[in-house]
Amino acid sequence: MMGIAGLAGVLALAWLWLDGVRARDLAVLAARRACQSEGLQFLDESMSIDSLRPVRNDAGRLTLRRVYSFEYSDTGDNRQPGSIVLLGHRVLMLNIGLRPMPSDRTLH
C-alpha cells in the first residue's frame, strides 16, 4: 500500500514540475512579446515565481494561479520590475508598469 501511495506522490510531483515548466515558458513568451510591443528590453530572459496557489477558474474547476516577476529596461541602462499572473496556462494580467505617454499619443 505504501508503494502505491509513494508512486502516486512522485507522479504528482512530476506533473507539478512539468506543468510549471510549461507555465513558465508561457510567461516568458508573453512578457517578451509585451516588452517588444512596447519598445522595452526584456532582461535576462529570466522569470521567477512569486506565488503558487490553487484557485477555482470561471468554470469552477480547481487550477493553479501563478504569479511571476521579471525585469525589463526602458532606457537600456536601468532595471524595472514587471509581473505576470497566470491562471492555469492563461495570462490574466501582465504588468510592465506605468510610463509617461509619448506626446504623439492621446487618450481620446
Give the chain as a 3 state SS string: CHHHHHHHHHHHHHHHHHHHHHHHHHHHHHHHHHHHHCCCEECCCCCEEEEEEEEECCCCCEEEEEEEEEEEECCCCCCEEEEEEEECCEEEEEECCCCCCCCCCCCC
pLDDT for residue 107 is more than 60: no
Banded model confidence at residue 86, pLDDT cuts 50, 70, 90: very high
With a pLDDT cut of 70, the percent of the chain lying above it is: 88
Q: pLDDT tens digit string along 36-76?
A: 998 999 998 788 999 999 999 889 999 999 999 999 998 88
| In the chain, domain spans | 2-95
Q: Are 31 and 42 in contact (CB under 8 A)?
A: yes
Higher local confidence (pLDDT), 78 or 103: 78
